[in-house]
Amino acid sequence: MAREDRGGGWWPEGEGEPKDRDGEPKGDAPDGGNERGPAPRTERPRGLASGGRSNPPSRYSLFVGLAFVALIVVALFNLLGNDDAGILGAGSGEEGEPLVEFAVVDATGTTDGDANIAQDDCESSLNPCPADQQRSPACEIEAADAIRVCDFFDLPLAISFWFTRGGDCTPTQDAFDQVASRYDDRVNFLSVNVRDDREIVTGLIDERGWSVPVGLDSDGAVSNLYRVGVCPTIVLAYPGGILYDARAGAVDIAGIEGLVEELLDASRLREETSR
């Protein structure tokens, strides 16, 4: 949120002429006095600029300015030095946190609708939940053509978020689908399209022959929760839907396969240490 700048004090034009104790202008006598006697010593009001000379900045203003510049430099350094800045799980200490649950419409089905991102059975924080505010959590809905992310939690999971508007993730989705065919018995794969028209998505599925389930995030609700801003964004999770890592940007078959192997190794280690 932008802040309004609050400038320092200033001395309005015409108010810089010294005055005597009675508020009358001083005379022009060489000795600085007037007919009432010698002029008393006058001092520049504190916090105001002297007429004709700029006031040097205070130490506090200088410190605030330098601190603000340093903050911008650090922010730019983080953005430039981390391709995944702002993406879920990227250096933010979120590893090991549960994935946000969601249910989306299957792109190849006939049902229309936005994603369900309800995490519990109540629209309010009241306990018990009022009868008129009850709802079905994302992983408990029983709807035709619904893809529930929780149904993929029995194995390590790779989710690819992608879109065609403003970028072309089709080659990466080709690679994602090919890698999925090699690990289909060890890793679950889910593809989620963000905000594209259904006809475009189904056309690509038919044209490219993808076998990975593709869900439609029609209103972008899921991608917002997962902070998707780059095409594609691949989210990796341990069994049980626990975040392992998230990567953003185009990758080829070898790159995706490397991520999946990392996920498998980390999942095995996690299982061994939890025994």
What is the 3-class SS of 124-167, one letter each residue? CCCCCCCHHHECCCHHHCCCCCEEEHHHHCCCCEEEEEECCCCC
| Structure tokens belonging to residue 157 | 């999971």
pTM for this model (two decimals): 0.67
Q: Phi then psi for 235, rounded to 5 degrees?
A: -105, 130
Structure tokens at 86: 């702002």
Q: Where are the domains of the chain?
A: 103-273
Mean residue pLDDT of the chain comes to 76
Q: What digits encode the pLDDT tens for the residues 165-191?
A: 877 789 999 999 999 999 989 999 999
Residues 4-55 have pLDDT tens digits of: 443 333 233 444 444 454 555 544 444 444 444 444 444 433 332 334 444 4
Asked whether residue 234 carries a pLDDT value surpassing 90, the answer given is yes
- Least confident piece of the model among 27-31, 50-54, 122-126, 145-149: 50-54
What is the CATH architecture assignment of 103-273?
3-Layer(aba) Sandwich (3.40)
